[in-house]
Amino acid sequence: MIHQDPPLRFYQRLGRLIRVSSKEKIKYLVVTLTPKTIEYNDLEKALWNLYSENIDISYILINIKNKLSSSRIIDFIKNMSKIYDDIAIPYTLITQGREISDPITFIIEKIIKHNEKIREEIFKNTEWYRGSIKDEEQLYNIFFKVMTSMIFDGRSAIFKRLEKLLCRSRFYRELNKAIMKKHIFYIYDVDKVSELIYRELKDMYMSQYYDNMFFRLDRKSFARLFINLFEYKNIDKIMKKLKGSIKKYKQIILNIAKIYVKIESYNSHSKYLPIHLHLYINYPEFKPMHLLCQINYFDLTEKMIKDKKILELIKLNLQTIGYKAALNFIRTYM
């Protein structure tokens, strides 16, 4: 039982836990707390303190299913925002205990390397793949194409596996509800998604394929790994930041790249809004390029898709992503 000075007491017990006695011995610390007691939140506070001191807590598992509600999720976001020094925090920081900087590598490590059937399904339906995987880079390239292109079969098996891994918890369901109630909302991480699109532009350029309409970020289980969460009341601050980034990128790019965002038809059954992001790159010494990216926004109610502020945020989010991807490409090849 944790009583007086609980953070210090927890640190002491954790120190005993991780003290090396045998390389082959696994140690466990189980702490049982009673809801509605003073001690109930102490363990959580201790973990935040450890995280703020740059201590790796990714191996610590917390069962929060009995503490969930929209207000509790907002509390998580507030606490993480202070530590992360940003009002929008990575989804994976909450769900995985650490920010996942490269979701594709994460999925390769968690699913692909450990499931031979899924690997066989992918390679069987990837016609340009020949022979065995020679290195990590080749595996990454194949998997990148499978996950972000609608033309490859074998995607469904991966997404189903990913859904079981990440999308079956009560926390996940409560998070979806909190989004639909507009207690919290999200944007796609500009750096991570622009890196995906930059990679696609680079592949187009190297293969001399100048008109691509097949790029997709359209599966919820995968797309979730790229989002940043924030309290809905901070939406104006998020939009102001995005507008500032767009202005900066446009001043650098000038007329070399054009970005257009078009909202497509809402899917009322699955509650998602598909958005088409068009990137046009036109430089005198190169053949003009066009990339169409479909990026879906999930957990939107019919009322939300009529909210002008949400629609403006979505457009600003994708414009920022598009301009940054174009800027990265231009700096590399032009």
Q: Which residue did the predictor score with more confidence, 33 or 2?
A: 33
Residue 151 resides in a domain: no
> What pLDDT, on a 0 to 100 scale, did the predictor assign at position 64?
46
Which residue do the tokens 């891994």 mark? Answer: 165
Residue 14 resides in a domain: yes
| Residue 87 pLDDT grade (very low, low, confident, very high; cuts 50, 70, 90) | very high
Residues 191 and 330 in one domain: yes
Q: Which residue did the predictor score with more confidence, 202 or 126?
A: 202
Q: Which of 8-22, 174-188, 193-207 has the lowest mean pLDDT?
A: 8-22
Q: Which of 54-68, 135-149, 163-177, 205-219 has the lowest mean pLDDT?
A: 54-68
Task: Using the predicted structure, report yes or no on whether residue 45 has a pLDDT greater than 70.
Answer: no
pTM over 0.75: yes
Residue 97 resides in a domain: no
Mean pLDDT of 144-158: 77
DSSP 171-188: HHHHHHHHHHTTSEEEEE
151/282 Cα distance (integer angstroms):
26
**Burial zone of 197 (CB within 10 Å; 0-12 exposed, 13-18 middle, 19+ buried):** buried
Strand order in the sheet with 211-217: 211-217, 289-298, 272-281, 257-263
Q: Which residue did the predictor score with more confidence, 84 or 269?
A: 269
Residue 120 resides in a domain: no
Task: Using the predicted structure, report yes or no on whether residue 152 has a pLDDT greater than 70.
Answer: no
State the total domains in the chain: 2
Mean of pLDDT over the chain: 82
> What pLDDT, on a 0 to 100 scale, did the predictor assign at position 27?
59
Q: Indicate the residue among 15, 32, 62 that finishes a domain.
A: 62
> What pLDDT, on a 0 to 100 scale, did the predictor assign at position 138?
79
Residue 223 resides in a domain: yes
Q: What is the domain range of residue 43?
A: 6-62
> What pLDDT, on a 0 to 100 scale, did the predictor assign at position 114?
77
Q: Indicate the residue among 18, 45, 62 that finishes a domain.
A: 62
**Burial zone of 110 (CB within 10 Å; 0-12 exposed, 13-18 middle, 19+ buried):** middle
Residue 257 resides in a domain: yes
Residues 6+ apart with CB under 8 A from 238: 87, 88, 187, 230, 313
Residue 83 resides in a domain: no
H or E segment to which residue 247 belongs: helix 235-253
Residue 134 resides in a domain: no
Q: Indicate the residue among 22, 39, 62 that finishes a domain.
A: 62
168/174 Cα distance (integer angstroms):
11
Task: Using the predicted structure, report yes or no on whether residue 37 has a pLDDT greater than 50.
Answer: yes
Task: Using the predicted structure, report yes or no on whether residue 264 has a pLDDT greater than 90.
Answer: yes
Mean pLDDT of 141-168: 76
Task: Using the predicted structure, report yes or no on whether residue 193 has a pLDDT greater than 90.
Answer: yes
Q: Which of 38-52, 107-121, 183-197, 290-304 has the lowest mean pLDDT?
A: 38-52
In the chain, the N- to C-terminal Cα span, in Å, equals 63
Residue 49 tokens, joined? 């303190």
